[in-house]
C-alpha cells in the first residue's frame, strides 16, 4: 500500500506547489510554483528530496494531516510550529527547520504561520497528477495540485516514497536579506515623471488588503504618468477606445493610460495603473498586462515578496544589472553553504541518555515550601 497523506483540515490557504511550469507563458499559462523557491528547496533538502520536489505551501494557518499506509518523513520550514499526535495518545512538538519521521496513524497539525508563508516537505514529494509538466496549483486557472484548488478536508495526497530509516536532519533557519527591495528600472520607466521615479525610491509603500498569490497592490505616494508623452508615444502602443483615436496629450493622455496596449509581464513586475498606486506581481500573475511597467524586482529579492502581509511597509532601491547578477550568485552560494551545513539530529521525543546521566537532577537540599527552611 502506498503512503497517503489524508487531509483532516486544509487550513486557510494550503496549496500543492513545486518550481512551477516554465515554458508555457507564450500560451498564456502563468509560471505559478512556490512563492519562496529558496525555502521550498530548504524543506526538500531536509527530507532528502530533489530541490524542486512538490511540497505544501501554507499561508496564515496550516493544515491538519494524518498518515496512512506506511512511514513518511516530513520537514517544516518557516516561522511556524506543529504538533504530532501519535496513535498511542502521545503528543510531540514538531519544530521547524528539521525533519521528523511519521508513522502510520500519526496526526500532524501545523499551527499559525507567521511571516506570511511556510512549507511542508514530504519524503519523495507530493505525487499529485502533473499538468503541463508541473504539479503547482494555480488557483485562478483551476490547474494543478488537487483539482486546482486549496486543500480541504477529505483530500488524499499520495507521497512519492516511503521514508527510509536513519537519523533526522536539521539546520538553522535560512534567513533572507533585509533592507529595500531592489529594482531594475523599466521597461517603461521613461513613461513616468521624474517626481514619480523619485517617489518610488524615496517613499514608503504599504501592502494593501488586496493581496494574493497573483500580486500585491501597494499604497503610498502617487506615481504620476507623464501626460506630456501622449503625443510622443506611437499610436501602435495605444488600444484606442471605440470611436476614438490615440490620446493627444494633457489630461486625455493621463486618462488613457488604462488603454495602453498589453505586453509581457513577469513575477516581480511593478506596473502602475492610472490611479498611480503600483501593483507588484507574484508567481501566479498573468502573462501580459496593459499598465506601464516602471520597474522590475531583481530575481534575488523575489522570494522576499512571499513574506509580505497586508499593512507591511517596504521601500525600494535601484540596482544595476551587474549588481542584480552579483546578488543572485551570492544568494546561490549562501544556499549551497546552508545545504552543506545540514546535520543529523535525534528524533523528536528521543531521550539523550548520556545527557540525562550527566545532569544533576537534584540540587542536593530540599526546602519547606512554607518556611523556606532546609529539610
CATH of the domain at 91: 2.60.120
> Residue 217 belongs to what domain range?
181-328
What pairing do the DSSP bridges indicate for beta strands 64-68 and 91-94?
unpaired
Residue 150 and residue 189 in one domain: no
The per-residue pLDDT for 116 is 87
The per-residue pLDDT for 365 is 46
Residue 163 and residue 311 in one domain: no
Question: Has residue 369 got a pLDDT over 60?
Answer: no
Name which of 28, 5, 23 is nearest 265 in CA terms. 28
Give the confidence band of 366 by pLDDT, cuts at 50, 70, 90. very low
Question: Has residue 236 got a pLDDT over 50?
Answer: no
Residue 208 and residue 164 in one domain: no
Cell of 99: 525533519
**Chosen domain end from 169, 194, 215:** 169
Listed range (89-103, 281-295, 358-372) with the worst mean pLDDT: 358-372
Residue 163, in any domain of the structure: yes
Residue 46, in any domain of the structure: yes
Q: How many CB atoms lie within 10 A of CB 300?
A: 22
Residue 66 and residue 139 in one domain: yes
The per-residue pLDDT for 88 is 72
How far is it, in rounded angstroms, from Cα 84 to Cα 100?
Answer: 10
Specify the pTM: 0.86
Across the range 333-344, mean pLDDT stands at 97
Residue 15, in any domain of the structure: yes
How far is it, in rounded angstroms, from Cα 168 to Cα 98?
Answer: 7
Residue 311: burial class (beta carbons within 10 Å; 0-12, 13-18, 19+)? exposed
What is the per-residue pLDDT across 103-157, written as a single tens digit (0 to 9) for each?
Answer: 999 999 998 898 889 999 999 999 999 999 999 999 999 999 999 999 999 999 9
Residue 36 and residue 139 in one domain: yes
Residue 124 and residue 224 in one domain: no
The per-residue pLDDT for 67 is 95
Residue 205 and residue 72 in one domain: no
Q: What is the DSSP letter of 360?
A: -
Task: Output the CA angle 107-112-118, nearest 5 degrees.
Answer: 85
Residue 305, in any domain of the structure: yes
Element (H, E) at 331: helix 321-340
How far is it, in rounded angstroms, from Cα 60 to Cα 333?
Answer: 30
Residue 29 and residue 152 in one domain: yes
Residue 146 and residue 192 in one domain: no
Residue 365, in any domain of the structure: no
Q: How many CB atoms lie within 10 A of CB 270?
A: 28
Give Cβ neighbours of residue 374 (< 8 Å, ≥ 6 apart).
Answer: 365, 366, 367, 368
**Chosen domain end from 313, 328, 343:** 328
- Residue indicated by cell numbers 490611479: 275
Residue 265, in any domain of the structure: yes
Give the confidence band of 187 by pLDDT, cuts at 50, 70, 90. very high
Q: Please report the DSSP string for 189-244 in residue order.
A: GGGB-HHHHHHHHHS-EEEEEEESSSEEEEESS---B-GGGGGTS-GGGB-PPTT-
Give the confidence band of 229 by pLDDT, cuts at 50, 70, 90. low
What pairing do the DSSP bridges indicate for beta strands 82-85 and 313-314?
unpaired
The per-residue pLDDT for 242 is 36
The per-residue pLDDT for 2 is 83
**Chosen domain end from 105, 139, 169:** 169
Residue 155 and residue 223 in one domain: no
Listed range (35-49, 148-162, 221-235, 244-258) with the worst mean pLDDT: 244-258
Residue 135, in any domain of the structure: yes
Percent of the chain whose predicted confidence (pLDDT) is above 70: 82
The per-residue pLDDT for 375 is 52
Mean confidence (pLDDT) of the chain: 86
The per-residue pLDDT for 346 is 81
Element (H, E) at 288: strand 288-289
Residue 54 and residue 199 in one domain: no
* Total domain count, the chain: 2
Residue 197 and residue 292 in one domain: yes
Decide: helix, strand or coil at residue 276.
Answer: coil
What is the per-residue pLDDT across 31-79, written as a single tens digit (0 to 9) for each?
Answer: 999 999 999 999 999 999 999 999 999 999 999 999 998 899 999 999 9
Amino acid at each position: 500500500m502506498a503512503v497517503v497523506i489524508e487531509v483532516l483540515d486544509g487550513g486557510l490557504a494550503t496549496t500543492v506547489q513545486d518550481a512551477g511550469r516554465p515554458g508555457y507563458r507564450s500560451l498564456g499559462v502563468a509560471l505559478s510554483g512556490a512563492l519562496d523557491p529558496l525555502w521550498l528547496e530548504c524543506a526538500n533538502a531536509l527530507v532528502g528530496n530533489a530541490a524542486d520536489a512538490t511540497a505544501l505551501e501554507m499561508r496564515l494557518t496550516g493544515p491538519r494531516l494524518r498518515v496512512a499506509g506506511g512511514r513518511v518523513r516530513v520537514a517544516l520550514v518557516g516561522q511556524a510550529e506543529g504538533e504530532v499526535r501519535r496513535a498511542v495518545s502521545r503528543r510531540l512538538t514538531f519544530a521547524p527547520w528539521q525533519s521528523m519521521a511519521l508513522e502510520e496513524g500519526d496526526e500532524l497539525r501545523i499551527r499559525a504561520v507567521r511571516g506570511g508563508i511556510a512549507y511542508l516537505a514530504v519524503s519523495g514529494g507530493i505525487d499529485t497528477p502533473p499538468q503541463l509538466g508541473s504539479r503547482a496549483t494555480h488557483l485562478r486557472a483551476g490547474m494543478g495540485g488537487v483539482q486546482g484548488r486549496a486543500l480541504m478536508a477529505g483530500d488524499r495526497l499520495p507521497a512519492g516514497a516511503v521514508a527510509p530509516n536513519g537519523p533526522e536532519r536539521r539546520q538553522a533557519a535560512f534567513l533572507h536579506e533585509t533592507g529595500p527591495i531592489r529594482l531594475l528600472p523599466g521597461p517603461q520607466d521613461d513613461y513616468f515623471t521624474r517626481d514619480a521615479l523619485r517617489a518610488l525610491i524615496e517613499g514608503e509603500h504599504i501592502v494593501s488588503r488586496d493581496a494574493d498569490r497573483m500580486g500585491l497592490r501597494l499604497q503610498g505616494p502617487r506615481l504620476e504618468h507623464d501626460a506630456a508623452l501622449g503625443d510622443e508615444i506611437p499610436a501602435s502602443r495605444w488600444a484606442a477606445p471605440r470611436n476614438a483615436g490615440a490620446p493627444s496629450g494633457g489630461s486625455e493622455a493621463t486618462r488613457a493610460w488604462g488603454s495602453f496596449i498589453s505586453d509581457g509581464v513577469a513575477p516581480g513586475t511593478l506596473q502602475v495603473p492610472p490611479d498611480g498606486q503600483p501593483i507588484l506581481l507574484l508567481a501566479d500573475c498573468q502573462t501580459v498586462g496593459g499598465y506601464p511597467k516602471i520597474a522590475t524586482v531583481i530575481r534575488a529579492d523575489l522570494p522576499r515578496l512571499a513574506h509580505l502581509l497586508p499593512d507591511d511597509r517596504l521601500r525600494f532601491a535601484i540596482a544595476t544589472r551587474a549588481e542584480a547578477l552579483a546578488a543572485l550568485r551570492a544568494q546561490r552560494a549562501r544556499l549551497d553553504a546552508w545545504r552543506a551545513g545540514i546535520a543529523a539530529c535525534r528524533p523528536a521525543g528521543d531521550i539523550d541518555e548520556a545527557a540525562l546521566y550527566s545532569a544533576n537532577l537534584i540540587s542536593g537540599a530540599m526546602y519547606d515550601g512554607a518556611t523556606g527552611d532546609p529539610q
